Protein backbone atom coordinates (compact mmCIF):
# COMPACT_ATOMS: atom_id res chain seq x y z
CA UNK A 1 0.00 0.00 0.00
CA UNK A 2 1.18 3.54 -0.81
CA UNK A 3 2.61 5.14 2.33
CA UNK A 4 1.84 8.80 1.65
CA UNK A 5 0.08 10.67 -1.15
CA UNK A 6 -0.42 14.37 -1.84
CA UNK A 7 -3.26 15.05 -4.26
CA UNK A 8 -3.67 18.58 -5.65
CA UNK A 9 -2.33 20.23 -2.50
CA UNK A 10 -2.30 24.03 -2.25
CA UNK A 11 -0.97 26.17 0.61
CA UNK A 12 -1.86 29.86 0.48
CA UNK A 13 -0.85 32.24 3.27
CA UNK A 14 -2.56 35.58 3.88
CA UNK A 15 -0.23 38.46 4.77
CA UNK A 16 -0.79 42.14 5.37
CA UNK A 17 -0.24 44.17 2.20
CA UNK A 18 2.01 47.21 1.95
CA UNK A 19 -1.00 49.52 2.12
CA UNK A 20 -2.88 50.52 5.23
CA UNK A 21 -5.68 48.04 4.62
CA UNK A 22 -6.04 44.74 2.81
CA UNK A 23 -4.06 41.54 2.50
CA UNK A 24 -1.92 39.78 -0.08
CA UNK A 25 -1.89 36.07 -0.72
CA UNK A 26 1.38 34.14 -0.73
CA UNK A 27 1.16 31.05 -2.93
CA UNK A 28 3.57 28.85 -0.98
CA UNK A 29 2.52 25.58 -2.62
CA UNK A 30 0.43 25.15 -5.75
CA UNK A 31 -1.20 21.93 -6.98
CA UNK A 32 1.41 19.59 -5.48
CA UNK A 33 1.06 15.90 -6.30
CA UNK A 34 3.38 13.35 -4.75
CA UNK A 35 3.34 9.60 -4.10
CA UNK A 36 5.72 7.99 -1.62
CA UNK A 37 6.03 4.22 -1.35
CA UNK A 38 7.34 2.34 1.73
CA UNK A 39 11.15 2.31 1.89
CA UNK A 40 11.52 4.90 -0.87
CA UNK A 41 13.48 8.16 -0.69
CA UNK A 42 12.21 11.21 -2.53
CA UNK A 43 14.56 14.17 -2.79
CA UNK A 44 13.10 17.68 -3.03
CA UNK A 45 15.35 20.35 -4.50
CA UNK A 46 15.13 24.02 -5.46
CA UNK A 47 16.27 27.50 -4.55
CA UNK A 48 15.40 29.19 -1.25
CA UNK A 49 11.73 30.16 -1.16
CA UNK A 50 10.65 27.60 -3.76
CA UNK A 51 8.29 25.77 -1.38
CA UNK A 52 10.52 22.88 -0.25
CA UNK A 53 10.04 23.45 3.47
CA UNK A 54 6.31 24.06 3.02
CA UNK A 55 6.05 20.72 1.24
CA UNK A 56 7.97 19.07 4.10
CA UNK A 57 5.62 20.62 6.67
CA UNK A 58 2.61 19.32 4.74
CA UNK A 59 4.14 15.84 4.59
CA UNK A 60 4.67 15.65 8.37
CA UNK A 61 1.28 17.17 9.20
CA UNK A 62 2.56 20.48 10.60
CA UNK A 63 0.88 22.47 7.80
CA UNK A 64 -2.75 21.92 6.88
CA UNK A 65 -3.32 22.46 3.15
CA UNK A 66 -5.56 25.26 1.98
CA UNK A 67 -6.93 22.83 -0.60
CA UNK A 68 -6.20 19.28 -1.73
CA UNK A 69 -5.82 15.99 0.12
CA UNK A 70 -3.02 14.31 2.07
CA UNK A 71 -3.46 10.55 2.49
CA UNK A 72 -1.52 8.30 4.83
CA UNK A 73 -1.86 4.61 4.00
CA UNK A 74 -4.99 5.47 2.03
CA UNK A 75 -6.67 7.55 4.77
CA UNK A 76 -7.23 11.29 4.51
CA UNK A 77 -4.96 12.85 7.11
CA UNK A 78 -7.07 15.90 7.87
CA UNK A 79 -10.31 13.93 8.09
CA UNK A 80 -8.91 12.12 11.11
CA UNK A 81 -9.72 13.35 14.60
CA UNK A 82 -6.73 15.06 16.30
CA UNK A 83 -6.13 12.20 18.74
CA UNK A 84 -6.40 9.66 15.94
CA UNK A 85 -4.05 11.67 13.74
CA UNK A 86 -1.46 11.88 16.54
CA UNK A 87 -1.69 8.16 17.27
CA UNK A 88 -1.86 6.69 13.77
CA UNK A 89 0.14 9.27 11.82
CA UNK A 90 2.22 11.43 14.16
CA UNK A 91 3.90 8.44 15.77
CA UNK A 92 4.85 7.08 12.33
CA UNK A 93 6.62 10.20 11.05
CA UNK A 94 9.95 11.61 12.24
CA UNK A 95 11.25 15.09 11.39
CA UNK A 96 14.86 16.30 11.33
CA UNK A 97 15.12 20.09 11.34
CA UNK A 98 17.71 22.21 9.56
CA UNK A 99 19.50 23.61 12.60
CA UNK A 100 20.00 21.22 15.56
CA UNK A 101 21.09 24.12 17.75
CA UNK A 102 17.59 25.64 17.75
CA UNK A 103 15.71 22.34 17.36
CA UNK A 104 16.89 20.92 20.70
CA UNK A 105 15.90 22.15 24.16
CA UNK A 106 19.15 23.54 25.51
CA UNK A 107 18.10 22.90 29.14
CA UNK A 108 17.47 19.17 28.77
CA UNK A 109 20.02 16.39 28.76
CA UNK A 110 20.61 14.27 25.67
CA UNK A 111 18.82 11.33 27.26
CA UNK A 112 15.78 13.45 28.13
CA UNK A 113 15.59 14.91 24.62
CA UNK A 114 15.67 11.49 22.97
CA UNK A 115 13.15 10.06 25.45
CA UNK A 116 10.69 12.92 24.96
CA UNK A 117 8.61 11.30 22.14
CA UNK A 118 8.41 8.08 24.15
CA UNK A 119 7.06 9.96 27.15
CA UNK A 120 4.60 12.03 25.11
CA UNK A 121 3.16 8.91 23.46
CA UNK A 122 3.44 6.90 26.73
CA UNK A 123 5.48 4.14 25.17
CA UNK A 124 6.73 1.48 27.58
CA UNK A 125 7.78 1.67 31.21
CA UNK A 126 10.47 4.07 32.48
CA UNK A 127 12.99 1.23 32.40
CA UNK A 128 12.02 0.34 28.82
CA UNK A 129 12.35 3.98 27.77
CA UNK A 130 15.81 4.17 29.30
CA UNK A 131 16.84 1.07 27.38
CA UNK A 132 15.36 2.45 24.17
CA UNK A 133 17.38 5.66 24.61
CA UNK A 134 20.54 3.57 24.94
CA UNK A 135 19.66 1.70 21.74
CA UNK A 136 19.02 4.93 19.84
CA UNK A 137 22.26 6.54 21.00
CA UNK A 138 24.18 3.50 19.80
CA UNK A 139 22.25 3.46 16.53
CA UNK A 140 23.26 7.03 15.63
CA UNK A 141 26.83 6.75 16.89
CA UNK A 142 26.60 8.71 20.15
CA UNK A 143 28.81 7.50 23.05
CA UNK A 144 27.06 6.69 26.37
CA UNK A 145 29.19 9.39 28.02
CA UNK A 146 27.09 12.20 26.48
CA UNK A 147 23.74 10.97 27.86
CA UNK A 148 23.78 13.53 30.67
CA UNK A 149 25.25 16.37 28.58
CA UNK A 150 23.16 19.30 27.35
CA UNK A 151 23.20 20.39 23.69
CA UNK A 152 25.58 23.29 24.34
CA UNK A 153 28.27 20.82 25.39
CA UNK A 154 28.10 18.92 22.08
CA UNK A 155 29.53 19.54 18.64
CA UNK A 156 27.21 20.41 15.74
CA UNK A 157 27.45 16.89 14.35
CA UNK A 158 26.64 15.35 17.74
CA UNK A 159 23.63 17.64 18.14
CA UNK A 160 22.28 16.52 14.76
CA UNK A 161 22.78 12.89 15.80
CA UNK A 162 20.67 13.62 18.89
CA UNK A 163 17.98 15.12 16.66
CA UNK A 164 18.06 12.04 14.42
CA UNK A 165 17.81 9.72 17.43
CA UNK A 166 14.80 11.65 18.70
CA UNK A 167 13.14 11.45 15.26
CA UNK A 168 13.59 7.66 15.27
CA UNK A 169 12.42 7.09 18.85
CA UNK A 170 8.93 5.85 17.90
CA UNK A 171 10.17 3.63 15.06
CA UNK A 172 8.56 5.74 12.29
CA UNK A 173 7.88 4.46 8.79
CA UNK A 174 8.74 7.88 7.30
CA UNK A 175 11.60 10.26 8.05
CA UNK A 176 11.53 13.83 6.73
CA UNK A 177 14.91 15.58 6.66
CA UNK A 178 14.66 19.32 5.95
CA UNK A 179 18.14 20.58 4.95
CA UNK A 180 19.69 18.35 7.65
CA UNK A 181 23.32 19.27 6.92
CA UNK A 182 23.17 22.92 5.83
CA UNK A 183 23.96 24.23 9.34
CA UNK A 184 26.90 21.86 9.83
CA UNK A 185 30.59 22.22 9.08
CA UNK A 186 31.67 20.73 5.78
CA UNK A 187 33.83 18.20 7.62
CA UNK A 188 30.83 16.53 9.31
CA UNK A 189 28.23 16.78 6.54
CA UNK A 190 29.35 13.57 4.86
CA UNK A 191 29.21 11.73 8.18
CA UNK A 192 25.57 12.73 8.75
CA UNK A 193 24.59 11.91 5.16
CA UNK A 194 26.24 8.49 5.42
CA UNK A 195 24.44 7.90 8.71
CA UNK A 196 21.08 8.66 7.07
CA UNK A 197 21.87 6.28 4.21
CA UNK A 198 22.76 3.52 6.68
CA UNK A 199 19.65 4.13 8.79
CA UNK A 200 17.40 4.10 5.76
CA UNK A 201 18.79 0.72 4.71
CA UNK A 202 18.89 -0.81 8.20
CA UNK A 203 15.42 0.34 9.29
CA UNK A 204 13.74 0.17 5.85
CA UNK A 205 12.68 3.82 6.18
CA UNK A 206 10.85 5.90 3.63
CA UNK A 207 12.42 9.35 3.47
CA UNK A 208 11.72 12.81 2.12
CA UNK A 209 15.09 14.56 1.82
CA UNK A 210 14.94 18.32 1.27
CA UNK A 211 17.97 20.27 0.06
CA UNK A 212 19.07 23.07 -2.25
CA UNK A 213 22.04 20.91 -3.34
CA UNK A 214 20.94 18.73 -6.24
CA UNK A 215 24.17 16.71 -6.15
CA UNK A 216 23.47 15.61 -2.58
CA UNK A 217 19.82 14.94 -3.36
CA UNK A 218 20.80 12.81 -6.35
CA UNK A 219 23.10 10.70 -4.17
CA UNK A 220 20.52 10.22 -1.41
CA UNK A 221 17.33 9.65 -3.40
CA UNK A 222 15.44 7.20 -5.55
CA UNK A 223 13.39 10.02 -7.11
CA UNK A 224 13.99 13.75 -7.41
CA UNK A 225 11.34 16.47 -7.30
CA UNK A 226 12.39 19.89 -8.60
CA UNK A 227 10.39 22.84 -7.25
CA UNK A 228 10.18 26.43 -8.43
CA UNK A 229 8.01 29.17 -6.92
CA UNK A 230 5.72 26.73 -5.13
CA UNK A 231 5.18 24.37 -8.07
CA UNK A 232 6.69 21.01 -8.92
CA UNK A 233 8.48 21.59 -12.23
CA UNK A 234 9.85 18.08 -12.75
CA UNK A 235 9.81 14.67 -11.07
CA UNK A 236 12.23 12.01 -12.24
CA UNK A 237 14.16 8.93 -11.14
CA UNK A 238 17.50 10.01 -9.67
CA UNK A 239 19.22 7.93 -12.35
CA UNK A 240 17.73 10.22 -15.02
CA UNK A 241 19.43 13.29 -13.56
CA UNK A 242 21.32 15.16 -14.93
CA UNK A 243 21.60 13.65 -18.40
CA UNK A 244 17.88 13.04 -18.80
CA UNK A 245 16.61 16.25 -17.18
CA UNK A 246 13.86 17.79 -19.30
CA UNK A 247 13.00 20.99 -17.45
CA UNK A 248 15.47 23.87 -18.00
CA UNK A 249 15.35 24.75 -14.29
CA UNK A 250 16.49 21.25 -13.29
CA UNK A 251 19.36 21.56 -15.77
CA UNK A 252 20.30 24.97 -14.35
CA UNK A 253 20.26 23.71 -10.77
CA UNK A 254 22.52 20.82 -11.61
CA UNK A 255 24.96 23.03 -13.50
CA UNK A 256 25.28 25.29 -10.45
CA UNK A 257 26.78 22.46 -8.36
CA UNK A 258 29.12 20.64 -10.75
CA UNK A 259 30.62 17.26 -9.93
CA UNK A 260 33.76 15.48 -11.02
CA UNK A 261 31.60 12.88 -12.76
CA UNK A 262 29.45 15.30 -14.77
CA UNK A 263 31.30 18.10 -16.48
CA UNK A 264 28.88 20.87 -17.37
CA UNK A 265 28.92 24.57 -18.15
CA UNK A 266 27.25 26.62 -15.39
CA UNK A 267 23.94 28.18 -16.42
CA UNK A 268 23.50 31.63 -14.92
CA UNK A 269 19.85 32.56 -14.40
CA UNK A 270 19.27 36.27 -15.00
CA UNK A 271 16.75 38.37 -13.13
CA UNK A 272 15.25 38.07 -9.64
CA UNK A 273 12.92 35.31 -8.53
CA UNK A 274 9.32 36.56 -9.00
CA UNK A 275 7.19 37.28 -5.95
CA UNK A 276 5.09 34.44 -4.57
CA UNK A 277 2.29 36.96 -4.08
CA UNK A 278 2.09 37.62 -7.83
CA UNK A 279 3.53 34.65 -9.74
CA UNK A 280 3.92 35.05 -13.52
CA UNK A 281 1.19 33.83 -15.84
CA UNK A 282 1.73 30.60 -17.72
CA UNK A 283 5.02 28.93 -16.82
CA UNK A 284 6.26 30.56 -13.62
CA UNK A 285 9.90 29.99 -14.64
CA UNK A 286 9.58 31.86 -17.94
CA UNK A 287 10.87 35.21 -16.60
CA UNK A 288 14.30 33.63 -15.96
CA UNK A 289 14.37 30.95 -18.64
CA UNK A 290 16.69 31.31 -21.63
CA UNK A 291 14.31 29.20 -23.75
CA UNK A 292 11.13 31.18 -23.01
CA UNK A 293 8.87 32.45 -25.81
CA UNK A 294 5.62 34.41 -25.82
CA UNK A 295 3.78 31.10 -25.86
CA UNK A 296 5.12 30.31 -22.37
CA UNK A 297 3.10 33.21 -20.88
CA UNK A 298 -0.28 32.05 -22.20
CA UNK A 299 -1.07 29.13 -19.90
CA UNK A 300 0.49 26.66 -17.51
CA UNK A 301 2.33 24.01 -19.54
CA UNK A 302 0.58 20.63 -19.42
CA UNK A 303 2.15 17.77 -17.53
CA UNK A 304 4.28 15.81 -19.98
CA UNK A 305 5.69 12.31 -19.48
CA UNK A 306 9.21 11.37 -20.52
CA UNK A 307 8.47 7.91 -19.09
CA UNK A 308 6.02 6.35 -16.64
CA UNK A 309 8.12 7.68 -13.74
CA UNK A 310 9.38 10.94 -15.24
CA UNK A 311 7.10 13.97 -15.64
CA UNK A 312 7.70 17.67 -16.26
CA UNK A 313 5.95 20.91 -17.21
CA UNK A 314 7.69 22.63 -20.13
CA UNK A 315 6.79 23.32 -23.77
CA UNK A 316 10.48 23.80 -24.72
CA UNK A 317 12.08 20.90 -22.83
CA UNK A 318 15.74 20.05 -22.74
CA UNK A 319 16.94 17.22 -24.98
CA UNK A 320 18.37 14.22 -23.07
CA UNK A 321 22.17 13.86 -23.22
CA UNK A 322 22.47 17.29 -24.88
CA UNK A 323 24.72 20.04 -23.64
CA UNK A 324 23.26 22.30 -20.98
CA UNK A 325 22.60 25.08 -23.50
pLDDT digits (tens, 9 = 90+) for 275-288: 888 899 999 999 99
The C-alpha atoms of residue 164 and residue 196 are separated, in whole angstroms, by 9
What pLDDT score was predicted for residue 1?
Answer: 87
DSSP state of 199: H
Helical pair 156-168 and 110-120, crossing angle rounded to 10 deg? 20
**% pLDDT > 70, the chain:** 94
The C-alpha atoms of residue 292 and residue 314 are separated, in whole angstroms, by 10
What pLDDT score was predicted for residue 181?
Answer: 86
Closest listed residue to residue 58, CA positions, set 45, 49, 71: 71
Task: Indicate the range of 37-46, 130-139, 160-169, 257-266 predicted with least confidence.
Answer: 257-266
Is residue 264 over pLDDT 80? no
What pLDDT score was predicted for residue 24?
Answer: 83
Higher pLDDT, 59 or 243: 59
* Three-state SS letters, 31-96: EEEEEECCCCEEEEECCCCCCHHHHHHHHCCCCCCCEEEEEECCEEHHHCCHHHHHHHCHHHEEEE
Is residue 173 over pLDDT 60? yes
What pLDDT score was predicted for residue 256?
Answer: 75
What tens digit of pLDDT does each residue of 199-258 get?
999 999 999 999 888 888 988 999 999 999 999 999 999 999 888 999 999 999 888 776
Is residue 260 over pLDDT 70? no
Higher pLDDT, 204 or 266: 204
What pLDDT score was predicted for residue 261?
Answer: 56
* Full-model pTM: 0.90
Radius of gyration (Cα) for the chain, nearest Å? 21
Is residue 110 over pLDDT 60? yes
Is residue 323 over pLDDT 50? no
The C-alpha atoms of residue 111 and residue 132 are separated, in whole angstroms, by 10
Three-state secondary-structure class, residue 122: coil
Beta-sheet strands, E only, within 127-187:
174-178
In contact, 76 and 7? CB cutoff 8 Å:
no
Amino acid sequence: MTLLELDGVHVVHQVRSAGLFGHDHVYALTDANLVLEPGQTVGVVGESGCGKSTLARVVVGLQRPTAGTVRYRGRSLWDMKPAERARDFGSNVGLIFQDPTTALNRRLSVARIIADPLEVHRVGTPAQRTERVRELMSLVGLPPSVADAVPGQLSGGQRQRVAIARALALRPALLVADEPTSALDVSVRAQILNLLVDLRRELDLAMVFVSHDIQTVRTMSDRIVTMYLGRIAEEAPAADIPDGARHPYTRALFSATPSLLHETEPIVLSGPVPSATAPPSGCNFRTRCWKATDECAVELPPLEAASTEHTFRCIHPEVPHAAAR
